[in-house]
Amino acid sequence: MPLTDTESALLALIRETPLATPEDLARRLGSTRAAVNVHVSNLVRKGALLGRGYVLPPADGPGRVVVVGGANVDVKARTLAAAVPGTSNPGVTVQAPGGVARNVAENLARLGVPVTLVSAVGRDALGDSLLRATEAAGVDVRGVLRAEGVGTGTYTAVLNANGELLVAVAAMEATEALTPAALHERRGTLRGAAWVVADGNLPEATLAHLLTLAAEVGASVVFEPVSVPKAARLRPALAAGLVPHAVTPNVPELAVLVGHDVPDDPDAIRSAARELHDLGVTLVWVRRGAHGSVLSGPDGVHDLPALPATVRDVTGAGDAMLAAFLAALASGVGPAEAARRGHAAAAITIESESAVSPTLTPAAIAARLAETVTAEPTQST
């Protein structure tokens, strides 16, 4: 919506002095504090401000990515020997920033991609530390909602001595505060974005509204299902014709998206991918763990191998995979090569004890691909 002359003048003052008080702005504008507050509300409603203080949308630029979804604290417990169910096991516990959307955003920042995170955390010490760590990694966190009355989300994972996931519990109530209305207040973050990542932690209505807003600004959406139960949150949007550009499920999540069982077989995966293409999804990238992945798109179907790696911790591997894939697409690389880079990022990450590897860089991905002797991805039509 167009701005009035007074709103434009106020926005210019905020750009010049973003830390100015309402009284300062009123004095410079020749107005009153009450009138300034009304104009600020209008600027928020029109998307010129992000709705939290005098926070301006990030500058437009090609390749910028907005990641919308879960941000939480990861608590990882790892047994020191083979896990024995039904009793306590000796082990070690660590706590670190996490959440699918947050991890994807940090990985993108490490890969040199301008990235904005839109999420929700509590007004608590965990939320404070989570935002500090995320901002320090290079992510724009000004669009994160500080929700009242809920705690910052946690993801508690129990790993065996080999670093493989045994069970996990996700307490993500804070993300429910990211309602369509809250997202609408932050729609200014989407301006100038080339890509939007939506993770399955978003409530159904919020996910549908995000797809609508992204379409209005011409940004391509990638949907990351997160889990089998949360993959179902996209189905109402698909039925309503709100279709993301790409989806990145594993095989069980793919089955939820198409509404029937899908065996972990390349032919069955290709058939299910065609069902999503028929609904308007352009890219379907199905992750198969140690079996690699299947990428289906306009240029055919590619079967890509997983890269060899010494597993230390699988947490965050899929997030790194998606981030490297998207970083490559945002820089103009084709989908098949982008997926290869995704596999390299996943291999780097599972060799780290951190959900976001501190060694992940574009150079590290290139080196990993260069040192790995693999056949070129096979292609079929």
In tens, the pLDDT along 269-309 reads 999 999 999 999 999 999 998 899 999 999 999 999 989 88
> What pLDDT score does 51 carry?
53
Q: Say what the pLDDT of residue 347 is.
A: 94
pLDDT of residue 30: 85
Question: In the structure encoding, which two tokens stand for residue 239, read together?
Answer: 């039925």
pLDDT for the residue numbered 240? 95
pLDDT of res. 20:
67
Residue 103 has pLDDT above 60, yes or no: yes
Say if residue 222's pLDDT is above 90.
yes
Percent of the chain with pLDDT over 90: 65
pLDDT at 310: 85
The pTM score is: 0.78
pLDDT at 376: 47
Chain position carrying tokens 């705690």 = 151
Average pLDDT over residues 262-267: 94
Give the pLDDT score at 212: 96
Mean per-residue pLDDT over the chain, rounded: 88
What Rg do the C-alpha atoms of the chain give, in angstroms?
22
Q: What is the pLDDT of residue 304?
A: 93
- pLDDT given at position 374: 47
Residue 138 has pLDDT above 90, yes or no: yes
Domains of the chain (ranges; CATH) run: 5-45 (1.10.10), 100-146+175-380 (3.40.1190.20)
Percent of the chain with pLDDT strictly greater than 70: 92
Q: Among 4-18, 46-60, 353-367, which stretch is predicted with the lowest mean pLDDT? A: 46-60
